[in-house]
Amino acid sequence: MTLPRVSIQTEDFNLTDEIAALRHRDGRVGAVCSFVGTVRDRDMAPPLVASRTALPPEGANFPRGGPSENSLSTVLSMELEHYPGMTEQAIEIMIDEAYRRFDIYAARVIHRVGLLLPTDQIVMVAVTSAHRGDSFKACEFLMDYLKTQAPFWKKEQTPEGARWVDARSSDDAALAKWGIEARNG
């Protein structure tokens, strides 16, 4: 059974099953790299300390950009939307580009849509190759693309209300290292 390279779905996925299917009977595979993105439970972040000059507790894991009132806003849920057909085609084009840039054997992207809750899995990228370097690079390349250019719309529900999430400038910079100009305004 051949898996599609791209799957946009509401249901969750099992990383172990996906990787086993991707590797199935391909004796050339010497490396598998995968990335799974999840909805962060920001309530798990340590509370802000009264003094901004105080050091955070050892092992503190703040959301991207460090602690701030906005970055620690509780996400009650996240809703992802896409344009069926267009989204899959756009991701397929980037997988083709990953094959051109890196010596890989297989790639699979699963992206969930619909209503997701904190700790739910959102996205999986898995890549196989003969050696780890190409798998790592191709996986990172595909994630950098997905974060900035894939046609998804993300809305977070917080205690303060709903807000649409834009691509961050740091995501655009990550894409630029691959020689791709971000199309975000």
Fold of 6-42+69-176: Aldehyde Oxidoreductase; domain 3 (3.90.1170)
101 token code pair? 């840039």
Q: What percent of the chain has pLDDT over 70?
A: 77
pLDDT number for residue 165:
86
Number of C-beta neighbours around residue 64 at 10 A = 9
Residue 118 pLDDT > 90: yes
Q: Mean pLDDT in the chain? A: 84
Query: Quick one: residue 94, left, alpha or beta (phi over 0 = left, psi -120 to 50 = alpha)?
Result: alpha
Calculate mean pLDDT across residues 106-121. 97
pLDDT for 122-149, tens place per residue?
999 999 999 999 999 999 999 999 988 8
- DSSP line for 64-103: TT---TTTT----EEEEEE-TTHHHHHHHHHHHHHHHHS-
Amino acid at 150: A
Q: What is the pLDDT, as a whole number, of residue 177?
A: 81
Predicted local distance difference test score (pLDDT) of residue 79 = 96
The residue with greater pLDDT, 32 or 51, is: 32
Q: Are 25 and 14 in contact (CB under 8 A)?
A: no
Would you state the pLDDT for residue 93? 96
Residue of 152, 87, 71 lying closest to 116 (CA atoms):
152
Order across the sheet with 77-82: list the strands: 114-116, 77-82, 152-158, 161-165
Output the pLDDT for position 65. Answer: 42
The predicted structure's pLDDT at residue 122: 97
Degrees, nearest 5: CA angle 159-59-156: 20
| pTM for this model (two decimals) | 0.80
Domain boundaries, the chain: 6-42+69-176
